[in-house]
């Protein structure tokens, strides 16, 4: 079974509008972390935002916020006021414990296109 599911292979958004990128996860570990990374066309992976499973508040970093709904096991990324430079692949990831330590599992990604 998929541990991290990103159901939107591609998304379009108009510049200056908000967009939500979906992510659902599956874990039985009570302590886990959720991440979003951005991959521009140049290829590098850029950390955007983190949410711990025990965090009461939704994480925010500038124009990025993480809509964490623990009971639904979803961790959607919201980008407000989209900019042309936001066009990229976005990956949701989960860090969970396993024998010997932690591991991070990535979703397949969502490609975001911002239209002028």
Give me the residues that bind another protein (CB under 8 A), please.
4, 31, 33, 35, 37, 43-47, 50, 52, 91, 93, 95, 100-104, 106-109
Q: For residues 43 and 85, which CB has a smaller minimum distance to another protein in the complex?
A: 43
User: What's the token pair of residue 9?
Assistant: 């292979």
Q: Residue 65: which residues within 8 A CB-CB, separation 6 or more? A: 49, 58, 59, 77, 78, 80
Whether 76 contacts 59, CB under 8 Å: no
Least separation in angstroms between residue 76's CB and another protein is: 17
Least separation in angstroms between residue 12's CB and another protein is: 19
Least separation in angstroms between residue 72's CB and another protein is: 21
List phi, psi (to 5°) of 95. Answer: -105, 125
């Amino acid at each position: 079974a998929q541990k991290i599911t990103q159901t939107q292979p591609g998304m379009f958004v108009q510049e200056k509008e908000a967009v939500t990128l979906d992510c659902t996860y599956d874990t039985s570990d009570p302590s886990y972390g959720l991440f979003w990374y951005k991959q521009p066309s140049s290829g590098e992976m850029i950390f955007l935002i983190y949410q711990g499973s025990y965090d009461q508040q939704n994480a925010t970093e500038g124009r990025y916020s993480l809509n964490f709904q623990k009971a639904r096991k979803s961790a959607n990324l919201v980008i407000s006021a989209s900019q042309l430079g936001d066009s990229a692949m976005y990956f949701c990831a989960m860090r969970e414990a396993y024998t010997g330590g932690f591991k991070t599992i990535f979703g397949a990604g969502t490609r975001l296109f911002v239209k002028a």
